[in-house]
Structure 1
Amino acid sequence: MAKAYDRVSWSNICLVLRKIRFDEVFIDMVWRIMVNNWYSIIVNERRGPQVNHMSFADDISLFTSGRCRTLKILMNNLKEYENTSGQIINGDKSHFMLHSNAFTSTRHRIKRLTGWQDKQLSYGGKAILTKHVLQALPIHLLSAATPPKTILKQIQMLMADFFWGWNSDRKKYNWAYWRKLSFPYDEGGTGMRNLKDICKAFQLKQWWNFRTKKTLWGAFLKAKYCQRSNPISKKWNSGDSLTWKYMLMNRPQIEQQIQWKLQAGNCSFWWDNLLGSGLLAQFTTTNNRFNNSKVAEFWEAGKWSRSRFFCWSRHQPACSPKS
């Protein structure tokens, strides 16, 4: 039964007790216990035997011929019982058991009724459904936020349960780890994507969009965290948002793959990879590397301006690679 105590009809209980020929005094006592807002019952006092909750568990088996007319009568009786008592039969805890000599066609029809997702799809079909439907559901959430690892693990467990299937009310044996199933076809996997790898890819993409595109959220982050420093030299604080912390953690990995092409000269002279050999800030110890000098300040007529370099270097100490 589904929520048997919450849904049971109190008047129906009294009718059943009278039908079983219980005494009216006992029925009245049961009624008062149910309708009162408070009650206290001592069974066998303190030293009496303990009452096990399994004493109230009861399974009912209904036998039928399996014919269409008989099954309709059975379902009508169960429906009438629900309407009279107020209870609802729990379909998740109910099972339809067949005889060992039942026809195979009958078995297949009942299996189709009890669950198509586990009975009708092969492992190849489940792999396609998992990749194109189940894994596509959390994509929009993962692109905007990074959930905890426990949440990702629970989602992958649900996908694994769907892929391997269920046997009655038990999970089937998992013949391989989900990590191995996430490998590409060429490496012996099924091509399913690992949610951790998806989160990592979206985190790297966030930093890439932050550095290369002019967006509203990028302007907001620059105004909040990078007013007086370049995003490359910015260090995270304990009070920063979790999204900004993840972006700074992935910053070194993505910055190694970025090289700026000189055009209008709007990129940073010190903190952007201009020559492909790394940042110029790592080759000097001068405090001037912390400013926001642009390449355009040292660029003239499509080439480097020696006069501007000379004018700047006269007021700066000698440059030397950092140790």
Structure 2
Amino acid sequence: MRFAEHFINMVWNLVSNNWYSLLANGQALGFFKSTRGVKQGDPLSPALFILSSEVLSRSLNKLFEDKAFVGFGMPKWSNPLNHLAYVDDTIIFESAHPDSLKKVMAVLGSYERISRQLINKANSSYYMHANVANSLFQAGRDAIGFARGEFPFTYLGCPILYTRRRKDYYNDLIKKVKAKLYYSKVLDPPDNILEHLHKSFARFFWCTKEQGRSRHWAFWQKLCLPKEEGGLGFRSLLNVSRALFAKLLWRIITTKSLWYNFMCNKYRKKELPTVV
């Protein structure tokens, strides 16, 4: 990456000059030198990780300079693409051409040798369209060495699929929403918490980025009105919270359960149910 020799020597001195000691009964038993890595919490660690990831990214992009390399099929005028990476999660796009797959694996092998970071093959998979011939599946498995995965799979929390959107593809989303609904059903969050959530919703609706200032062209309360009244029909969490609280209050009044008996005897007694 054309770093100056001075920078390389400085980084190497920091990495190779780590000493550790073991404590036994509160006493240090000598020191020993680390053979790899930096100290935990060292601010240099994320910088080195980013540099090593940049080496992998550039090496994969350099494959396009090889005329014999057959990459992932892209629209005619779009930029070539063969990988996306976020932290330590990397997804590589590639054709089923066996020789090209071997070149990709050669880049990954070279990265392992240089960085001493090993690919977790147990958590890595390769994916192909269901209509691909079995011979290509076999050739891909022989070239890659990973287990075959099935669509859809999740990358950075987002389901990746190519077929029609079936309900079972979104089971994780349904479970998460139901969990949040249950949380709202049994607790009554303060109004300031709900207002904070409303601000987050409004920022998501009006802003193009998470941070920074933006112009909100209408109040959130206005957007929560029905469309017939000039709003967009968004749900107000304040109204939802009141409705769920009313349902909880109805359970207190009508349900004769162990929970009801405890709550009434401890908190309600002769007071109104709303006091609880």
* TM-score past 0.5 threshold: no
Question: Larger % of strand: which?
Answer: 2
Structure of higher CA gyration radius: 1
Q: TM-score, normalised by structure 1?
A: 0.35
Higher relative contact order, chain-length normalized (CA < 8 Å, sep 6+):
1
